Amino acid sequence: MTKDDRYGATDDDYGENYDDYPDETETTNVNETQTSDDPVSTNRNSGSGGGAEVQTLPFIFARRTVKADREAVPVYVQNETSEEIGELERELSQTFDGDKVMALDVREALIRAGLENLDDVQRVMEEWGYGRR
């Protein structure tokens, strides 16, 4: 029984047609380039002899379920934080109107944004009283 089987089905329908694309772990030729700005990038071999196109799918399209390829990390939050997360989820659902915004994605995006902005994390911890001893 896999981890996905244990957790059952989810509302995540993005990964339904993932078989049409190459595996994310597929290696590409050194002469190929990819831009990180482009969510679905097409790479072409610039050397002679041609080369196969390789497409890399964004995370929400490449996964089988919303819980696939994720590790469970329990997080307890204050009431105010929980309310703000709920508000953000609703706001992002309106922003990405054509997409089904998954709560797990919003929560991981918040963590990723914090990891990319460590000064903000330190500021919040200082507001909570860290560094005052």
pLDDT along the chain (133 residues), means of 10: 43 50 41 43 47 78 89 95 97 94 96 98 97 93
In terms of Cβ atoms closer than 10 Å to its own Cβ (0-12, 13-18, 19+), residue 19 is exposed
pTM of the model: 0.59
What stretches of 41-78 show up as alpha helix (H) in DSSP? 59-62
Give the number of other CB atoms < 10 A from CB of residue 57. Answer: 20
Please list, in sequence order, all residues whose beta carbon lies within 8 angstroms of the beta carbon of residue 14, skipping any fewer than 6 positions away: 60, 61, 63, 100
Convert the pLDDT of each residue in 75-88 to its tens digit: 999 999 999 999 99
Report the pLDDT value the prediction gives residue 119, as an integer from 0 to 100: 98
